[in-house]
A and B are shown apart, each in its own frame.
Chain A
Amino acid sequence: MNMGQLSLLEQGIAVLAALVLFTSFALLAQSRLTSAIHSFAWQGAGVALVTALVAFSSHTPHLYLSAVLTLGLKSLLIPWMLHRLVRQLNMERLVENITHPALLLLTGAALVIFSYWVSLPIEKLGLGNTRNIVAISLSVVLLGLWMMVSRRQVIAQVLGFMSMENGLFLAAVASTRGMPLVVELGVAFDVLVAAVLFGIFFFHISESIESLDVDRLNRLSEREESA
C-alpha cells in the first residue's frame, strides 16, 4: 500500500496510530512509575485524537462524544487518579528494577510483527488503511498484555491493563467507525468502575503485603497445597 494514495486525513490517522504504538513501547520500558503514568496519559490523548479525526473524516458525529470521553477518562481522569494514589502510597521515587530491558523490548517488537501476520487476511479484503490500524491496535493490546506479564509492580500491571483497553478502543474506532454508542458508553462505564476498583485494591494489597510487588502475592499456589 502506498501512503501517497491515501487522503491527508487518513495519513494523519496512520501517523497518530503509529504514535500510539510508540507510547506502548515507552510504557513497556519505563521503570519510573510517574513517567509510565505520563506515557499512558499521552497514549490516551493519541487515541482520542485518532477518534476525533475518524469522526471528522467519516462524518460520524457520535464519535466526537467518544473522543471527548476517551480524552477525559483515559488521558485526564485515570492518570490523575493513579498519580494521586502513587503520592498517597509514597511511591513517587520508586524505580522498578527491570531485569532484561533489551529482551523485554525485543519481545515487544516480535509481538508487533506477529500482529501484522495475524491481520494478513484482513488485507485481502482490500481495505487499504484498515489492516494497518487493526495490526497496530492488536499490537497495542498484546504489548499491554506483555507488560502485565513482565512487570512486577501492581501499578505497572494496571497500566498494562488500561493500555490494552486503549488498543481495543483504537481497533473499534479505526476499523469500524466506532461501536454503537450504547456499547461504547457501557465499555467506558466498565473501565471507570474497574479503575476505581483498582484504586481500592492498591490500598488493600499494600496493607496486606506491605508493598505493591506482585511477586509477594504468593500465598495461594498449588505447590503449597501439596506440601
Chain B
Amino acid sequence: MSAFWLVLMLPVVGSFLLALTSSLAVSGWLNVAFCALEFLSSVALAVQVHANGSLSLTGFQIDAFNVYLIMLTTFVGLTTAIFSRPYMKDVCEQGRLTRKRMRLYHAMFQMFLFTMLLALSSDNLGILWVAVEGATLATVLLVSLYRTPESIEAAWKYFILCGVGIALALFGTVLVYFAAQQVLPDAEAGLSWRVLYQHAGELDSRVMSIAFVFLLVGYGTKVGLVPMHFWLPDAHSEGPTPVSAVLSGLLLNVALYAVVRFKMLVDGSLQSTDTPAMAGLLMMAFGLLSFVVAVLSLQRQRDIKRMFSYSSIEHMGLMTFAFGMGGPLATFAALLHMLVHSLTKSAIFVTVGHASHIAGTQRIEHIRGLIRTQPGVGWGLLLGVAAIAGFPPFGVFTSEFLILSATIQSWPWLTVLLLGGLGVAFAGLFRNVQPMVYGAAPEGQVAVSANMLPVLVHLLAVLWLGLAIPAVLFGWLNDVTVLIAGEGL
C-alpha cells in the first residue's frame, strides 16, 4: 500500500518543492531525483500487484492494466527528466526562458505526472475526468512556456479544443452515472469503475450507447483522433521538446486508457442487444480514419516535430483500431503497441530536440548532415525512425505484425488499407530523414552537448521487445488482455 501512496504523493511534493527552488542546477537534479523515486516506487507497486493480482483501496483500484501504464508513465517521466535537465539549462542560457519560467516548467512537469498517475489509478470515473482535465491545464502552461506568438496560439488552440472535448466526455460520464443510478442499490457508488463493471449487464443499453459517443469524442480529442486532432501538431511543435516527448509518450496513452475502460462497460451493457459491437465499431472507424489522415498529412510536413506528431496520430489511430476490433490477439497487440510506441516516440523526440539544437531550427530542409556533425544524434534519429516505421527487429514490428494478423482473421479486406498506409508512412518518414541524417552538413555546424542515454535505453528496450518479449512481461500483458477481452492469448 505504501508504495502506491508514494507513487501518488511524490509528484505533488516534488511539484511544490520545485516551484520554490530557484537555483537552476539544483532544480534540474531535483526533478530527476523525484522522477527516479517515482519510478522506483512504481516498480515496488508493480511487484506488489503482481503478487496479489490487484490492489483495492478506497477510491483507488490498481490492476494489471493500469499498473502497467503507471510503470510506463514513471519510466518515461524519468528518462525525459534526465534529458530535460541539460536541455532546458541550455535553453535557459540561450535566454529563451527566464528563471521564473523554469520554476514553472519543473513544477508543471511534476504536476502533469501527478495528474497522469491519478487518472490511471483512480477507481472513480469522475476523478478520472478531473485528472485528465487537470493534465490539460498543466500542459497548457508547458506548451506556452516560450511565450512566442506561435506557442501562445498553439496553447490556446490546445486549451479550447481539449477543453471542449473533455467537456463532452463529462457529459458522457454524467450519462453513465445516470444509467448506474437506475440499477445500483447504492447510488453514490455509481461512478466506481469496479462496481459499474460488475453491473455492466444491467445498465440501460440506450443510455450507455449515447454516453459512449460523447465519451469517445471527448477522450478521443485527447487521444488525437481525427477530426479532433488539430491541437496535436501545434502543441507538439511549439512546446519545449521534453513536453512533446511526454505528450506523445504518456498523455495520449492515458486518454486511450479511459476510452478502453469505458468500452469495457459499454460492451457489457450492449451484450444482449442487436448491436453488441457498437462501441468497437465506432473505435475502429475513428482509428482507421485517424490512421489514414495522419499517414497522408505526414507527407507534407516541413517542421520536424510536426512530422513526428502526425506519426503519433497515426499510431494512436492504429491502437484505437486494434482495441476496437477486440478479441485477445488484437487487444494484446494494442497493449504491446502502446508500450513500444511510447518508448520509441519519446526517444525520437529527445533526438529531435538535439537535432534542432544543432541546426538551430525545426525546419526539415535546414537540418542536414547530423551524422557527420554528431554521430550519436544522427544514429539515434535514424534508428528511432527505423523503429517507429516498423522495421524488424524492433518491437514496433512485432506489435504491428500482431495487429495485422488480427485484422486478417476478422476483417481481411482492411489489411490492404493498413499495409498500404504503413508503406506510405514509411516512405514519408524516410524521404525526410535520409537527407537530415546523411546530407552535407552546413558550414560551421557544431556538435552540442547531448545526452543520448535516454534514447539508448529506450531503443534498446524496444529492440529487446522485438527480439524476445520477456516471460514476465508476456504474462503481465496477457493478464491485461484477459481483463479487457475476457480471455488471453
Residues of chain A at the chain B interface (Cβ within 8 Å): 118-119, 121-122, 124-125, 130, 134, 137-138, 141, 145, 148, 154, 157, 161, 164-165, 167-168, 171-172, 175-177, 179-180, 182-183, 186-187, 189-190, 193-194, 197-198, 201, 204-205, 208-209, 217-220, 222, 225-226
Decide if A168 touches B159 in the complex (CB within 8 Å).
no
Residues of A contacting B141 in the complex (Cβ-Cβ under 8 angstroms): 197
Contact: B167 with A164, CB < 8 Å?
yes
| Cβ contacts under 8 Å, B149 to chain A | 208-209, 219
Q: Is the CB of A220 within 8 A of B157?
A: yes
**Min CB gap A166→B, angstroms:** 10
Q: Which residues of A contact B306 (CB under 8 A)?
A: 225
Nearest CB to that of A165 among chain B residues? B167
A179–B181 Cα distance when bound, in Å, is 11
Give the distance in Å from the alpha carbon of A121 to the alpha carbon of B160 in the complex: 30
9 A–B pairs (Cβ distance < 8 Å), ordered by A? A141-B167, A161-B163, A172-B177, A176-B174, A180-B191, A186-B129, A187-B133, A190-B133, A201-B144
- Shortest Cβ distance from residue A135 to the other chain B in the assembled complex, whole angstroms: 12
Residue numbers in B under 8 Å from A186 (CB-CB): 126-127, 129-130
- Which of B169-186 touch A at CB < 8 Å? 170-171, 174-175, 177-178, 181-182
* Distance between Cα atoms of A173 and B181 in the complex (Å): 13
* Other contacts beyond A130-B178, A183-B124: 18, CB < 8 A: A122-B210, A125-B204, A137-B171, A168-B170, A180-B124, A180-B126, A180-B188, A182-B59, A182-B126, A187-B126, A194-B159, A197-B140, A204-B152, A205-B156, A217-B157, A220-B234, A225-B302, A225-B306
- Flag if B150 contacts A219 (CB, 8 Å): yes
Cβ of A205: which chain B residues have Cβ within 8 Å of it?
152, 156
A114, chain B: closest CB distance, angstroms: 13
Identity of the chain A residue whose Cβ is nearest the Cβ of B153 in the assembled complex? A217
The reply to whether the CB of B376 lies closer than 8 angstroms to some CB of chain A is no
Enumerate chain B residues within 8 angstroms of A222, measured Cβ to Cβ.
297, 300
Find out whether the CB atom of A225 lies under 8 angstroms from the CB atom of B130.
no
Chain B nearest CB: distance from A134 CB in Å?
8
Q: For the complex, is B168 an interface residue (Cβ under 8 Å from A)?
A: yes
Task: State whether B164 touches A148 (Cβ < 8 A).
Answer: yes
Distance between Cα atoms of A168 and B210 in the complex (Å):
15
Q: Quick check: A171 and B171 within 8 Å, CB to CB? A: yes
**Assuming A208-B149, A209-B149, is B137 touching A148 (CB within 8 A)?**
no
Chain A CB within 8 A of B206 CB: yes
Name the 6 nearest CB pairs between A and B, nearest first.
A183-B126, A186-B130, A121-B206, A208-B149, A217-B153, A190-B133
**CB neighbours of A208 from chain B (8 A):** 148-149, 152-153
| CA of A166 to CA of B484, assembled, Å | 35
Nearest residue, chain B, Cβ from A173: B174
Set of chain B residues within 8 Å of A217, measured between Cβ atoms: 153, 156-157
Kindly list chain A residues whose C-beta atoms are within 8 Å of the C-beta of B171: 137-138, 141, 167-168, 171
Asked if B147 is an interface residue, CB under 8 A from chain A, the answer is: yes
Which residues of A are found within 8 Å of B88, using beta-carbon distances? Answer: none
Bound CA span A204–B152, Å: 7
Instruction: Check if A225 sits within 8 Å of B170, measured CB to CB.
Output: no
Count residues of B near A (Cβ-Cβ below 8 Å): 53
A121: chain B residues within 8 A (beta carbon)? 206-207, 210
Within 8 A of A (CB), among B116-161: 124, 126-127, 129-130, 133-134, 137, 140-141, 144, 147-150, 152-157, 159-160
From B156, B157, B174, B300, contact of A172 by CB (8 A): B174
A179: chain B residues at CB < 8 Å are: 126, 174, 177, 191
Contact residues, B70-101 vs A (CB, 8 A): none
Scoring A124, A209, A220 by chain B CB atoms within 10 A of each residue's CB, the highest score goes to A220
Q: How far is the CA of A201 from the CA of B151 in the complex (A)?
A: 11
Q: Does B432 contact A (CB under 8 A)?
A: no
**Contacting residues, chain B, for A124 (C-beta < 8 A):** 206
Asked if B301 CB lies within 8 Å of chain A CBs, one says yes
- Docked Cα-Cα span, A226 to B364, in Å, equals 12
Contacting residues, chain B, for A183 (C-beta < 8 A): 124, 126-127, 129-130, 191
Q: How far is the CB of B188 from chain A (nearest CB, A)?
A: 6
Give the docked Cα–Cα distance between A7 and B401 (Å).
Answer: 62
Which residue of the partner chain, among B133, B177, B300, contacts A176 with CB atoms under 8 Å? B177
Cα distance, A176 to B190, chains bound together (Å)? 10
* A197 pairs with B300, CB closer than 8 A: no
B191 proximity list for chain A (CB < 8 A) = 179-180, 183
Given A165-B167, A193-B137, A204-B152: A175 touches B130 (CB 8 Å cut-off): no
Find out whether the CB atom of B156 lies under 8 angstroms from the CB atom of A201: yes
CB of B303 within 8 Å of the partner chain:
yes
A115 to chain B, nearest CB (A): 11
Which of A118, A168, A176, A201 lies at the interface centre, i.e. has the most chain B CB atoms within 10 A of its CB? A176
Q: Kindly list chain B residues whose C-beta atoms are within 8 Å of the C-beta of A165.
A: 167
Q: How far is the CB of B195 from chain A (nearest CB, A)?
A: 12
A217 CA / B127 CA spacing, docked (Å)? 33
Q: How far is the CA of A179 from the CA of B152 in the complex (A)?
A: 34
Judged by a CB distance under 8 angstroms, whether B238 is at the interface is: yes
- Annotate B273-306 by CB proximity to A: 1 below 8 A, 0 otherwise: 0000000000000000000000001001111001
CB distance from A198 to the nearest CB of B (A): 8
**CB of A130 to closest CB in B, whole Å:** 8
Once A138-B171, A201-B159 are accepted as A-B contacts, the answer to whether A190 and B130 lie under 8 Å apart by CB is: yes
Minimum distance in angstroms from B262 CB to a CB of chain A: 16
Contacts of A198 in B (CB 8 A): 159
